[in-house]
Structure 1
Amino acid sequence: MNETEILALLKKYQKGTLSNEESDKLDAWYLNKASRSNLQLSEYELEDSYNYLQSNLPLEKDKKVISLWPRIAVAASIAVLLGSGIFYFTKPKQQNIEVAAKPQEIAPGGTRGILTLSNGKQIVLSAISGKDTIAKEGDDQEVTIKMGANGVITYVINPNADNSKNDPDSFNTLSTPTGGQYNIVLADGTKVYLNTVSSIKYPTQFNGDQRIVELEGEAYFEVAKNKNKPFIVKSGSQSIEVLGTHFNVHAYTNESVVKTTLLEGSVAVSYKNQKSILKPGQQSSISDNFSKIKIKEVDTEAAVAWKNGRFKFDNADLKTVMKQLERWYGIKVEYRGDVSDVRFNGGTFMNKNLSEVLKVLELSNIKFKVEGKTIIVYP
């Protein structure tokens, strides 16, 4: 078939007037084109592209036509469309029919962080920095900061250093940008997993009778046991005291509620003049809007799913879910309509492109429109 014949068939498709014979012809033409294309698409790309193609070549609404081609033919057609970037037909002395290229995918975040030393120097971190010793701290350089093969930062105290001196602690800060996460092992052996758009300030070695760190954002702690030196996490007006345990703290400054979720051991949560002890499987919530510390049983896997590379939602409201996506994908979300009653259960992996995650959310009858880095949400 020549371009004029193909153009005519496409116009009939848009009007929903294709005969079975014409549909077979167009089907065969697309399959032939695809057989000469080297482009391979994943299942998610096919589904995304199928919806995109439908929106750009709409059927007449009053026609009872569900689809033009079988799924395999649609996949083949999309491969051709995306392989060329822009797909169009030209008919002499008529306006071109043009389908724009598929919008750029929004990629997920990754392992990225910034380490600020006590002298103010900043070191940009990534999982592939490939360094061993990256800095030394202390008057006598008694603390060595190392980076492992997987990018994890560790603090190693020189065993020959004079620790009898009552020198004041020097502090470092590890922070993550939008779309970044980073892991660190503090000088006492405590492991900290820092979520995106977060920061933790900590001493390079714990010289006093307490191990105090300050957190903004979200982090998961595996605290090294030391019954003689309690570990304390401060975040805003909240203070958490432990001797050795595993817990998650969600304390973003742009969210009104601070949540602490306990997985193992016990923690004491203090807020203003109140104090509560958590048991494994419990989550505390504090807020200026609450009269007291709230405690409830939760799905701990959902609270720490981010540490394991997953989005997992346990009856989460839409705006809470979208805040996670804003931080991980660096997007802005706008709402067109009331979505307050929308709840999500389930989840997906964080290493997927944004379009694939939105498909999962659309199963709850929510619609999304992507305009650059802005996501518009419709109920």
Structure 2
Amino acid sequence: MDANQFSDLLKRYQLGTCTEEEKKWVEGWYSERRNNIYNPLTNEEEALAGQRIYSNVMTVLTSEPQKNVVPLWRRPGAWWVAAGTLLFMATTWYFVMNDKQVTTQTVEVQKPVIQTTVVPGGNKAVLTLADGSTIVLDSAANGALTRQGATMIMKKQDGELVYKTEGRHGQQAVAMNTISTPRGGQYQVILPDGTKVWLNAVTALRFPASFTGNERVVELTGEAYFEVAHQSSSNGKGNRPFVVNIITAAGENRVEVLGTHFNIKAYNDETSIKTTLLEGSVKMSGLKGQYLMKPGQQAQIDRSGKMALDEDADVEEAVAWKNGRFQFNNANVEAVMREIARWYDVEIEYVGKVPDEKFEGEIPRNSNITEVFKILELSNVHCKIEGKKIKVLP
């Protein structure tokens, strides 16, 4: 079990959603380490420590949140401290109240009865070829799928599509392909030049089956993470630029790349287009200006075309989706619910006033919808599900 799996297990234990077998494993793990590490106290000292811990826990639970920012849980770098502290506080009080006798006690956790077919998203996409024919990638068999000119298209494994150009293709007609993910879908594609692209839900990437000319140009709607491969220009002088044309209802914007890692978020239901740079250098261009970006920066273009540059962007938040997490930094309820709607393929309806809480923390993207509801309820946001619709209650 690696650190991320152990962290998820502790979170489920805290929420009461783990299985009985997992519960016994966690309690046995803690009991063993407590006997080896936390046993230097006398009975009197341990009783006093237990009283202080219980008092501190009650103070935290009954105190008002500051600035309406609700921490879901700590960031990955501090997961061990956070999980260990919570578990130690809870179990120390339990052991003190039971006079240091370690026993396994079955606790009934009442879970809400939710009849739903809502599940987390997965690897789902459709490939549309130049002639208009389509291939449903999640149900297609692994191996060679088809050929576009001199390029062979292969599905190597679930969630990865590979374009491989064989030999020189000359001046052939450009065959444009489109890979698109639905709500609740994601996919990965390796383009003919070796560039790797991760597609989030509700995303479409249009690209040629083989790149020709002085630029490598693709079109994007939705959200994608790019790792652009270096490629020399046709005249052998410098690198051939990689260009992403961002297509939204508000117009077209452009990101020009020489070789880098970056994320573009360009959904029509978001208030702005965001390009976040992790490595290398990109030039973000809009109708009202452009920015030459450095790693750690995020360029934003709002619906009016106004541009802004965040020089100290939260890079982890921008790419958390690619790494299997939702991550929020002072996000409002509507922003959180938009992410949930896209990934779980549900419709969101607000009953009454939209709650004004702010969220900070993360949720694993493989969490079932019941676990997500429990986390939101801890933040005083209550939801009810009806079929494929989530109602956010006042």
TM-score calculated relative to the size of structure 2: 0.68
Match of 2:206 among 201, 204, 220: 201
CA deviations on 1:116-166 (whole Å, 9 max, x unpaired) are 11111100012x74421001011xxx110011134411111112x4x3x32
Greater Cα offset, 142-151 or 200-209: 142-151
Corresponding residue number in structure 1 for 2:134: 122
Offset, 1:360: 1.8
3-state SS of paired residue (1:275): strand
- 1:124 is aligned with what amino acid? V
CA contact (8 A) 1:105 1:355 kept: no
CA deviations on 1:20-77 (whole Å, 9 max, x unpaired) are xxxxxxxxxxxxxxxxxxxxxx8599559xxxxxxxxxxxxxxxxxxxxxx94634x8
CA contact (8 A) 2:299 2:307 kept: no
* 1:74 matches 2:96: no
Distance in 2, Cα, partners of 1:179 & 1:261: 23
Corresponding residue number in structure 2 for 1:362: 377
Offset, 1:375: 1.4
Offset, 1:299: 1.3
Corresponding residue number in structure 2 for 1:292: 307
Distance in 2, Cα, partners of 1:149 & 1:334: 37
Corresponding residue number in structure 2 for 1:143: 151
- 2:115 is aligned with what amino acid? P
3-state SS of paired residue (1:74): coil
CA contact (8 A) 2:288 2:306 kept: no
- 1:300 is aligned with what amino acid? V
Corresponding residue number in structure 2 for 1:314: 329
- CA change 1:288–1:74 in 2 (3 A) is closer
- 1:131 is aligned with what amino acid? N
* 1:228 matches 2:239: yes
- 1:74 is aligned with what amino acid? E
Corresponding residue number in structure 2 for 1:175: 180
- 1:198 is aligned with what amino acid? T
* 1:377 matches 2:392: yes
TM-score calculated relative to the size of structure 1: 0.71
Q: Which has the higher contact order (CA 8 A, sep 6+)?
A: 2
Offset, 1:200: 0.2
Distance in 1, Cα, partners of 2:245 & 2:185: 22
Corresponding residue number in structure 2 for 1:107: 119
Corresponding residue number in structure 1 for 2:144: 133
- CA change 1:361–1:45 in 2 (3 A) is closer
Which runs of 5 or more residues in structure 1 are unaligned?
1-41, 49-70, 83-100
- 2:326 is aligned with what amino acid? F
Distance in 2, Cα, partners of 1:260 & 1:123: 30
Which runs of 5 or more residues in structure 2 are unaligned?
1-11, 19-104, 232-237
- CA change 1:44–1:329 in 2 (3 A) is farther
* 1:157 matches 2:165: yes
CA contact (8 A) 1:105 1:354 kept: no
- CA change 1:317–1:146 in 2 (3 A) is same
Corresponding residue number in structure 2 for 1:14: none
CA contact (8 A) 1:330 1:373 kept: yes
Offset, 1:378: 2.8
Matched positions, count: 288
CA deviations on 1:258-299 (whole Å, 9 max, x unpaired) are 111111111100001411011111111102335333434221
CA contact (8 A) 2:15 2:374 kept: no
* 1:188 matches 2:193: yes
Structure of larger gyration radius: 1
**Aligned sequence identity (%):** 42
Corresponding residue number in structure 1 for 2:220: 215
- CA change 1:121–1:340 in 2 (3 A) is same
Distance in 2, Cα, partners of 1:278 & 1:364: 36
